[in-house]
Amino acid sequence: MSKNIRDKVAIVGVGACKFGENWDMSREDMIVEAAYEAYADAGIEDPQKQIEAVFCGAVYPNGGTGEVAEALKLFDRPISKLSNYCETGTDTFRYGVMCVAAGMYDTVLVVGFDKPKDRGVSGPSVSFDRVRGLPATPAGWFSLCAARYFQTFDAGREDLAKIAVKNHHNGTLAPKSMLKREITVDDVLNARIISWPFGLYDCAAQSDGAAAAVITRADLGRSFRDDPINVKAITIAVGANPQSDPNFDFLSWKPTQVAAKDAYRQAGITEPFRELDVCQVHDCFTLTEMLTYEDLGLCKKGEAKDFVASGVFELSGELPVNTDGGLKTFGHPTGATGVRMIYENTLQLRGQAGERQVKNAKLALSHNIGGAPQACGIAIIGHP
C-alpha cells in the first residue's frame, strides 16, 4: 500500500502547446512551447538554475531524453524518459512528484509529448496476438466491452453519444484543443462505424502535442506564486491484459478501481462524487468514459447512463468531467495526455479556465488508463 504523499508537493507552473496535426512543428518545438509557458507561469526566469531535473513522458520516440535536453538547453542534470502505455503522462508526473517529495530536488520540470501524426497511421501499430491471428486495434479492444455492457445494463449507442456531444462542446471552449465543433447525438449515431458500436465520434482524436508542469516542494510553493496547487494523491495500478485474465468480466476497468481506492485513501476522500469538484478522465472512447464514471465510484455500476442523461457531468452540472474536451476533442498525444489533464485541472483550481470555468473548484481528479487496458494512473490535486 502506498504511503501518503498528500500536501508535500506543489504545482506552480503549467503550460501546453496547441494540440492538433502540428505538421509545422517538430517535437522539440512543441516541448519548448509547453515548457516555456510553464516557466513563465511559475515566474521562472532562469531555468538553467531553477530546474534541477526533468521527467519526460513519451510513447513513440525511441530516444527522448537527449532531444528534451537539447530542446530546452538543459544539460548536465538528470533527465529521464518514461513510457507506460496511454497513462504515460500521469506516471511521468508521478515520478516527478515522488522525487520532490523524497527531497532529491526542490524544483523539477515534468513534460509529456508525442507526435504520432508523423507516423502515417492513426493509432498504435496493429498487433497480432499469439494463436488467434486476429488484427487488434485500440478501438477493437475497447469495443469488445460494449456489447456485454449494453446487454447487462440496458444501455446503447445513444447513451455513449451524449458523452461525445458533451466533450465536443467543452472542446469548443478550450483555446488549445484540436477539434472545435459542436455535434449532435444524431451526428454521432449516423457517423461511419469504426469498430461496432464505436462510430467516428466515439473515438478520441489522436493528435500531436506537448504539456508541461513545474513542481516544487509544497513549502516553497508561495515563493513562485500566490496560488500554488498541492498534490493530494498520486498513484498507478497495473493489471493483466483483459484478454489473458480469466477473471476479467469486460464490464469494468479493474486497474481504475484499484487506483481509485488508493488515491481516495491518500487524499482522504470518502465520497468522491460529493467531494470532487472537477474531473478529467480517460475518454479514448465514449464507453471508456462511461465505465470510468462507475469504476471511479462517481456512481454505482450500471448507473452511468442515468447520470449522463441527467447532465451532472456537463460543465453546468454537479461534477463536470473533461472540461477541456478530453482526449475526444482536446486531442490525445499519448505521452502528453496525463500532463495536459494536470494543466487543465490546475487552471480550473486557480479560476483561470475562461468560458469553461467550473465554479469554486477546490479539488480535482485526473485519470489515465493505458494498454488493452492494463494500467491506470490517477492524480488528485487541490487547494493547499
Partner 1 sequence: MAIFASDGRPLPQPTPTTQPFFDAAKKRKLRLQRCPRDGFFYYPRSRCPKCLGDDWTWQDTNGLGEIYSYTVDRIAHDPAFRAFAPFAVALVELDCGPRMTARIADCEVSDLRVGLPVEAHYEDVDDITLVSFRPRTA
132 to 55, 96, 128, 243, 245: CA distances (angstroms): 38, 40, 8, 11, 16
Check the CA dihedral 81-84-86-91 and report its sign: negative
Residues 222-251 interacting with partner 1 (rule: CB under 8 A)? 243-246, 250
**CA-closest candidate to residue 132, choices 244, 285, 250, 247:** 244
Grid coordinates representing 370 are 493505458
Grid coordinates representing 168 are 465536443
Q: Which stretch binds partner 1 (CB under 8 A): 32-40, 71-79, 192-200, 336-344?
A: 192-200
Q: Count other C-beta atoms under 10 Å from residue 226's C-beta.
A: 7
- Indicate the residue among 69 and 144 with the shorter CB distance to partner 1: 144
Residue that has been written with the C-alpha cell 496493429 in this structure: 126
- Indicate the residue among 95 and 285 with the shorter CB distance to partner 1: 285
SS (H, E, C) 318-338: CCCECCCCHHHHCCCCHHHHH
Q: Is 135 in the site for partner 1 (CB under 8 A)?
A: yes
State in angstroms the smallest separation of the CB of 121 from partner 1: 8
CA atoms within 13 A on the CB side of 118: 12
φ, ψ of residue 63 in degrees (nearest 5): -90, -125
Contact 312, 319 (CB under 8 A): yes
Q: Is 49 in the site for partner 1 (CB under 8 A)?
A: no
Give the one residue of 50, 170, 195, 329 binding partner 1; rule: CB under 8 A: 195
Q: Is 206 in the site for partner 1 (CB under 8 A)?
A: no
Q: Which stretch binds partner 1 (CB under 8 A): 125-133, 160-168, 264-272, 363-371?
A: 125-133
- Indicate the residue among 194 and 327 with the shorter CB distance to partner 1: 194
Give the one residue of 119, 134, 219, 354 binding partner 1; rule: CB under 8 A: 134
Q: How many residues make up the chain in this entry?
A: 384
Q: Count other C-beta atoms under 10 Å from residue 83's C-beta.
A: 18
State in angstroms the smallest separation of the CB of 133 from partner 1: 5
What is the Cα–Cα distance from 126 to 137, expressed in whole angstroms?
A: 6
Q: Which stretch binds partner 1 (CB under 8 A): 95-103, 196-204, 207-215, 293-301?
A: 196-204
**CA-closest candidate to residue 116, choices 377, 372, 342, 327:** 327
Give the one residue of 65, 80, 137, 172 binding partner 1; rule: CB under 8 A: 137
What letter represents residue 381's amino acid?
I
Q: Is 48 in the site for partner 1 (CB under 8 A)?
A: no
Q: Is 119 in the site for partner 1 (CB under 8 A)?
A: no
Residues 245-304 interacting with partner 1 (rule: CB under 8 A)? 245-246, 250
Check the CA dihedral 236-332-382-253 and report its sign: negative
Give the one residue of 14, 51, 145, 178 binding partner 1; rule: CB under 8 A: 145
Q: Which stretch binds partner 1 (CB under 8 A): 89-97, 193-201, 212-220, 255-263?
A: 193-201
**CA-closest candidate to residue 37, choices 175, 162, 161, 168:** 175
Grid coordinates representing 57 are 513522458
Give the one residue of 40, 102, 193, 309 binding partner 1; rule: CB under 8 A: 193
By CB under 8 A, the count of residues binding partner 1 is: 33
- Indicate the residue among 78 and 140 with the shorter CB distance to partner 1: 140
Contact 236, 368 (CB under 8 A): no
Q: Is 147 in the site for partner 1 (CB under 8 A)?
A: yes
Give the one residue of 186, 196, 274, 309 binding partner 1; rule: CB under 8 A: 196
- Indicate the residue among 19 and 198 with the shorter CB distance to partner 1: 198
Q: Is 130 in the site for partner 1 (CB under 8 A)?
A: yes
State in angstroms the smallest separation of the CB of 23 from partner 1: 23
Q: Is 4 in the site for partner 1 (CB under 8 A)?
A: no
Using CB under 8 A as the criterion, which residues of the chain lie in contact with partner 1 when the complex forms?
121, 123, 126, 128-135, 137, 139-140, 143-148, 150-151, 193-198, 243-246, 250
